């Protein structure tokens, strides 16, 4: 069942320590099959070197385990809420990567300080508001997904054009057209968060590049006028 997606989700999870995005088991990746409306996700608390495609857990959009012996990631309700709310995404990654987590802990959005950012994110990466005590005491992981979606609605951001968020006092989530795409965006976010911290240290008043430069770089790699790489987006990676 969903063997290819399980393999993709396995590879996405294994990529997280390889890109130095996780310590211990502090991260997880999932994939979503649009046709069957099923999600494949990492089992909870299993170390990356013990993961296999068979250990992946298949869950439906209501959170019921459809296949798999292990308990799914404790962040499962967050992933599900994002697949329900953000139409068109098919992969999600959550890590506690240190630079992006520092921005989450600072409660700040990451401005578009340069073209590295503009090549992948069409605007600042937002930070959610702090969660309320009611949300935390209630269905916490579901509410985490909810506050992410609320952030994009309130700020009128497109999740397909800004595929990343900082959860306030917590850590980042990224997503994309596939599990591999979500991993890619997690790496980009960590790099741009690192450079953003250093930019701000050098120039506290730095506010970012012009909207013309942002538009130019984002459209160079995305949409019908893209001209980076050999053909489409995937190949250019």
- Catalytic-residue membership of 33: no
Residue 130 in the binding site for its own copies (CB under 8 A): yes
User: Distance (Å, rounded) from C-alpha 77 to C-alpha 213?
Assistant: 37
Candidates 75, 119, 120, 181; catalytic one = 119
Beta-sheet strands, E only, within the chain: 27-33, 38-41, 57-60, 65-67, 91-95, 164-166, 172-176
How do strand 172-176 and strand 57-60 relate by DSSP bridges? unpaired
Among 116, 142, 160, 222, interactor with its own copies by CB under 8 A:
116
Exposure string for 68-86, b = 16+ CB within 10 A, e = fewer:
beeebbebbbbbbbbbebb
Helix, strand, or coil (residue 41): strand
Check the CA dihedral 225-88-18-235 and report its sign.
negative
Residue 147 in the binding site for its own copies (CB under 8 A): no
Residue 30 in the binding site for its own copies (CB under 8 A): no
- Catalytic-residue membership of 181: no
Residue 96 in the binding site for its own copies (CB under 8 A): yes
Among 32, 86, 99, 218, interactor with its own copies by CB under 8 A:
99
Active-site residues, by number, are 119, 228
Binding site for its own copies (CB under 8 A): 23-26, 43-47, 70-71, 74, 96, 98-99, 101-108, 113-116, 130-131, 133, 136-137, 140, 169-171, 184, 187-188, 191, 194-203, 206, 208-210, 212-213, 216, 220, 227-230, 235-237
């Amino acid at each position: 069942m969903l063997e290819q997606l399980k393999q993709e989700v396995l590879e996405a999870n294994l990529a997280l320590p390889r890109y130095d995005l996780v310590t211990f088991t502090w991260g997880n990746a999932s994939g979503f099959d649009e046709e069957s409306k099923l999600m494949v996700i990492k089992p909870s608390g299993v170390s990356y070197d013990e993961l296999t495609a068979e250990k992946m857990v298949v869950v439906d959009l209501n959170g019921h385990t459809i296949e798999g012996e292990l308990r799914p990631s404790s962040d499962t309700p967050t992933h599900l809420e994002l697949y329900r709310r953000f139409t068109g995404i098919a992969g999600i990654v959550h890590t506690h990567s240190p630079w992006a987590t520092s921005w989450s802990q600072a409660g700040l959005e990451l401005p578009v300080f340069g073209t590295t950012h503009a090549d992948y994110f069409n605007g600042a990466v937002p930070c959610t508001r702090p969660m309320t005590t009611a949300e935390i005491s209630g269905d916490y992981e579901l509410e985490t997904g909810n506050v992410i979606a609320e952030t994009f609605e309130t700020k009128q951001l497109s999740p397909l054009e800004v595929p990343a968020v900082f959860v306030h006092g917590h850590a980042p989530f990224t997503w994309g057209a596939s599990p591999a795409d979500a991993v890619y965006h997690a790496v980009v976010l960590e790099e741009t968060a690192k450079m953003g911290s250093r930019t701000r240290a050098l120039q506290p008043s730095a506010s970012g590049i012009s909207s013309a430069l942002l538009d130019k770089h984002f459209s160079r790699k995305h949409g019908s006028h893209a001209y980076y790489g050999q053909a489409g987006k995937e190949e250019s990676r």
